[in-house]
């Protein structure tokens, strides 16, 4: 399988567990391998800072001949002891993608009532006139599915992947405060502050969990039809 080509802009990122702030045999071996794909490191700052160590084990490798104009900086999220990295390629032109859509059947109380009404108008005696059971089943399904597709047509629906209705303004502010506290937590030796940060993180996690639970319970309650497809869509949000 071919990985590299002149038309492919290859970028590799991840936690490689090799410290790029110091020389080592592992670093040399990896550099040689990456050089065969014309890749080199873009990270030149610590990505994991603890009380006793400062290492760059999370890395992003790019082709600098194709991405000569770039910037990279650390992002402290406070989600783990590893910082995130943000790579911006300034010479890349991205075409705006069209909104993503999906199709779903229009199922509600009105269309269900129409479906039942349409079925009541069918002359089912004509459906079971054959002696062969398979033929009768085929005739039944043809009538049933014809009414089903007519009563429950497909409609185009926009997909919103980033909507988090449970994420309130207060939770956003608390998450930002948690990130600010985490910056201090990584460097302080104050045990009282460390305990404060841990308690703050624990309480925030419980608040987020409760907010999600309340939000999705409301969605289940408001769901009029409660059919399997609709409940699965709510669960997967």
Q: Which two tokens stand for residue 162?
A: 């980033």
Flag whether 1 is in a domain: no
Instruction: Out of 33, 57, 89, pick the residue that ends a domain.
Output: 89
pLDDT of residue 40: 94
pLDDT in tens, 20-56: 999 999 999 999 999 988 999 999 999 888 778 889 9
For the ranges 30-34, 99-103, 183-187, 217-221, the one whose mean pLDDT is highest = 30-34
Note whether 101 and 156 are within 8 A (CB). yes
Whether 88 has a pLDDT exceeding 80, the answer reads: yes
β-pairing, 12-15 vs 101-105, is: unpaired
Kindly state the average pLDDT of the residues 111-120.
Answer: 92
24/149 Cα distance (integer angstroms): 65
Q: Which two tokens stand for residue 48?
A: 């994991």
Flag whether 5 is in a domain: no
Kindly state the average pLDDT of the residues 150-156.
Answer: 90
How would residue 7 be classed by pLDDT, with cut points 50, 70 and 90?
A: confident
Q: Are residues 143 and 125 in the same domain?
A: yes
Q: Where in the sequence is the domain holding 24, given as residue range(s)?
A: 12-89
Kindly state the average pLDDT of the residues 111-134.
Answer: 87
Number of domains in the chain: 3
Instruction: Out of 89, 111, 128, pick the residue that ends a domain.
Output: 89
Average pLDDT, the chain: 84
DSSP 66-124: T--SEEEEEE--SSSSBPEEEEEETT---PPPPPPEEEEE--SHHHHHHHHHHHHTS-G
pLDDT of residue 224: 54
Flag whether 69 is in a domain: yes
pLDDT of residue 99: 66
For the ranges 54-63, 163-172, 210-219, the one whose mean pLDDT is highest = 54-63
pLDDT of residue 29: 95
């Amino acid at each position: 399988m071919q990985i590299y080509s002149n038309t492919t802009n290859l970028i590799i990122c991840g936690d490689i567990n090799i410290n790029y702030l110091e020389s080592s045999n592992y670093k040399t071996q990896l550099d040689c391998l990456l050089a065969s794909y014309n890749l080199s490191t873009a990270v030149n700052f610590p990505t994991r800072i603890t009380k006793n160590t400062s290492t760059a084990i999370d890395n992003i490798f790019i082709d600098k001949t194709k991405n000569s104009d770039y910037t990279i900086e650390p992002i402290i999220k406070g989600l783990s002891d590893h910082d995130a990295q943000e790579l911006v390629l300034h010479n890349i032109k991205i075409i705006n993608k069209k909104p993503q859509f999906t199709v779903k059947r229009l199922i509600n109380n009105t269309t269900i009532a129409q479906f039942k009404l349409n079925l009541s108008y069918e002359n089912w005696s004509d459906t079971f006139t054959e002696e062969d059971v398979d033929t009768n089943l085929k005739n039944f399904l043809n009538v049933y599915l014809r009414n089903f597709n007519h009563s429950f047509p497909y409609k185009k629906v926009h997909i919103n992947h980033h909507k988090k209705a449970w994420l309130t303004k207060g939770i956003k502010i608390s998450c930002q405060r948690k990130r600010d506290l985490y910056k201090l937590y990584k460097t302080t030796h104050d045990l009282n502050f460390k305990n404060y940060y841990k308690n703050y993180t624990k309480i925030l996690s419980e608040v987020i969990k409760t907010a999600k639970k309340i939000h999705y319970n409301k969605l289940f309650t408001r769901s009029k039809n409660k059919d399997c497809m609709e409940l699965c869509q709510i669960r997967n949000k």
